[in-house]
Amino acid sequence: MRPSTIIETDYLVIGSGLAGLYFAAKASAHGRVTIVTKRGVKDATTTLAQAGVAAVLSDDDSLEQHARDTIKTGAGLCNEKIVNLTVSEGPARVSDLAESFGVPFTTKADGAYDLGLEGGHTRRRVVRVDDFTGAAIMDHLVETVSKIPNITIMENHMVVDLLSMAKYGKENACFGAFILDRSTGVMDTVISRATVLASGGAGKVYLYTSNPDTAVGDGISMAYRIGAEVSNMEFFQFHPTLLYNPKAKSFLISEALRGEGGILKRADGTAFMAAYSEMRELAPRDVVARAIDSEMKITGDDSVFLDITHRGAEFLKERFTNIYKETLRFGIDMTEQPIPVVPAAHYCCGGVQVDEWGATNIPNLFAIGEVSHTGLHGACRMASNSLLEALVFAGRAAERVRECEAHRPKEIIPWKSGHAVSSDEGVVVAHNWDEIRRTMWNYVGIVRSNRRLQRAMHRINMISDEIHHYYWNFLVTPELIELRNLALTADLIVYGAQRRLESRGLHFNIDYPEASPFYARDTRLRRGNGPNHKPSRFW
Ligand code: SIN
């Protein structure tokens, strides 16, 4: 085995989606950037994004209208200052993606952007590259970033824990991370002036999700462990329409289909959204996902159906090239038949609390993209506002990190595996992984209750105790690191949900079916003591 190394850099970026790569490109103008990513550089949630980036780019739209739609969808919890700054900086960031990185956004014959429409938006404002926007953005960002000499990309490396000055008896500040080289099993240390979490979300906490396998809540849990504030974890967004097919692993049927007239129907062909909202198929996602959940319970069917056949084959093949091809692979011709769809976990609206520069409460630790909680989304994220947020806050953080003053101890305490021995009990990890995801799906899903949440907390506490024992007694493996993070993220979601005694946006509890003005505030958790802080057990 090769010896451990210490790598020095100005900016350590954890994660390689839109937020991480855009930050790296901008920050490389004033410092060395090291990007650490768990798998390949393109194995990020951004790659799977179909619809696009929401921004005000047409004459019939306005910044005020974009802000109003975002705030309405956010059900009373958006931070208006953050909403206003995000929507106002959006158009310039989109132009930068097109001009500096060459992202070929789809245009109409007259050269104007061909904008999409999605739930919650009252105007067409989603700029896109056909229906594979995320993949196109990633291609162009990776191409640019890999040519910048100041940037190093470390693929197949996992962050195990962030390095904190508090461990050395000093004022807390982050100065890097322990990283595990997956190919050799060697634990290296990265020392950085600023550390930027861009590690994405946590959809894998649920059994059914649109997210890639990498989305296990790593950033949220490692930040929480060193004392960062985490907010609003109970607001987990379920996308209403994933393809329902046993062979299709988490393929999204973009909301843009409903934007172009797709109608949700029961198996017998009855359209049902009018009974749930006057905005019908274009109601915010929490409303549509709950409506589908309720229909599936009423009919006992395994899915509902999204019918867009009336738009005609020519339009559909051109507008939804990717979705048309993918669904056809599973034997569904969307030009002739409705698509079977079900809701699935999609986006973590909560995350590591940051200010308007992406800075956390821990000096020199930043969070950007889905891992963060900026206050933009409130209790329900409006479609395509997430890539917008990632861009705007990555750009802002790249400006702010240059002000960070380096902190580092005189001598670094190396990673200790204690009396660890190699484990042959991978089955324990697999079992716990599965149990967490099932528990979350069954008890902490679209519709919650006090009893279900209590049961979930009980199960997760037991699993967490087991992981703690297991984690410290055996050699650390990538699977174990992910399981530990998955369990803590699940714990924070349930903990938040148990403390919000109301229904609002994405959090619906049948024991408190109405919103309460008392809870028109964020749930903020910090490891340790205090009235609103989860008491630390062992994290
Ligand atoms: C979609 O294409 O429906 C996903 C867009 C989003 O989640 O913002």
Q: In the CATH hierarchy, which fold is given to the domain comprising 239-346? A: Flavocytochrome C3; Chain A, domain 1 (3.90.700)
- Domains of the chain: which residue ranges? 239-346, 426-524
Beta-carbon contacts of residue 352 (< 8 Å; ≥ 6 apart): 197, 219, 220, 223, 224, 228, 229, 230, 231, 360, 367, 371, 372, 373
Cα 70 to Cα 85, 273, 473: the distances in Å are 12, 21, 47
Across residues 100-124, what is the average pLDDT? 96
Is the CB–ligand 1 distance for residue 481 below 6 Å? no
Round to whole Å and give the CA distance between 218 and 358. 17
Class of domain 426-524: mainly alpha
Query: Distance from the CA of 477 to the center of ligand 1, in angstroms?
Result: 33
Is the CB–ligand 1 distance for residue 133 below 6 Å? no
Q: pLDDT class for 530, splitting at 50, 70, 90?
A: very low
Is residue 417 pLDDT above 80, yes or no?
no
Q: At what angle do helices 450-473 and 426-443 cross, to 10 degrees?
A: 160
b/e burial code for range 61-74 (CB count within 10 A of at least 16 → b)? bebebbbebbbbbb
Do 360 and 382 contact (CB within 8 A), yes or no?
A: no
More confident residue, 260 or 248: 260
Query: Distance from the CA of 209 to the center of ligand 1, in angstroms?
Result: 13
Nearest CA to ligand 1 atom 7: 383
Across residues 268-281, what is the average pLDDT? 96
46, 254, 385: which to mutate for ligand 1, most atoms within 8 A of CB? 254
Task: Give the pLDDT confidence score for residue 328 in this predicted structure.
Answer: 97
Is the CB–ligand 1 distance for residue 326 below 6 Å? no
Which pLDDT tens digit goes with each residue over 464-486? 888 887 766 677 889 989 999 99
Burial class of residue 256 (count of CB atoms within 10 Å of its CB; 0-12, 13-18, 19+): buried
The helix/strand/coil state of 121 is coil
Task: Give the pLDDT confidence score for residue 246 in this predicted structure.
Answer: 85
Task: Give the pLDDT confidence score for residue 418 in this predicted structure.
Answer: 59
Task: Give the pLDDT confidence score for residue 224 in this predicted structure.
Answer: 94
Which pLDDT tens digit goes with each residue over 32-79? 999 999 999 999 999 999 999 999 999 999 999 999 999 999 999 999
Which pLDDT tens digit goes with each residue over 198-240? 999 999 999 999 999 999 999 999 999 999 999 999 999 999 9
Measured from the CA of 347, which atom of ligand 1 is nearest? 7
Which pLDDT tens digit goes with each residue over 19-31? 999 999 999 999 9
Residue type, 133: T
Is residue 113 pLDDT above 60, yes or no?
yes
Across residues 348-374, what is the average pLDDT? 98
Put the strands of the sheet holding 372-373 in their side by side order.
Answer: 372-373, 351-353, 230-231, 524-525
Query: What are the E-state strand segments in 356-426?
Result: 365-367, 372-373
> Are 239-346 and 426-524 the same fold in CATH?
no
Write out the catalytic residue numbers: 285
Task: Give the pLDDT confidence score for residue 443 in this predicted structure.
Answer: 96
Give the percent of the chain with pLDDT over 70: 96
Element holding 305 (H helix, E strand):
strand 304-307
Task: Give the pLDDT confidence score for residue 467 in this predicted structure.
Answer: 84
Q: pLDDT class for 421, splitting at 50, 70, 90?
A: low
Round to whole Å and give the CA distance between 490 and 494. 6
Task: Give the pLDDT confidence score for residue 533 in this predicted structure.
Answer: 45
Is the CB–ligand 1 distance for residue 164 below 6 Å? no
Give the percent of the chain with pLDDT over 90: 88
Overall size of the chain counted in residues: 539
Query: Distance from the CA of 256 to the center of ligand 1, in angstroms?
Result: 8
Round to whole Å and give the CA distance between 331 and 334. 9
Is residue 425 pLDDT above 90, yes or no?
no
Query: Distance from the CA of 49 to the center of ligand 1, in angstroms?
Result: 6
Is residue 196 pLDDT above 90, yes or no?
yes
Mean pLDDT taken over the chain = 94
Is the CB–ligand 1 distance for residue 50 below 6 Å? yes
Is the CB–ligand 1 distance for residue 383 below 6 Å? yes
Query: Distance from the CA of 93 to the center of ligand 1, in angstroms?
Result: 19
Is the CB–ligand 1 distance for residue 288 below 6 Å? no
Reduce the secondary structure of 183-210 to three states and give it as a string. Answer: CCCCEEEEEEEEEEECCCCCHHHCCCEC
Task: Give the pLDDT confidence score for residue 539 in this predicted structure.
Answer: 36
Is residue 441 pLDDT above 60, yes or no?
yes
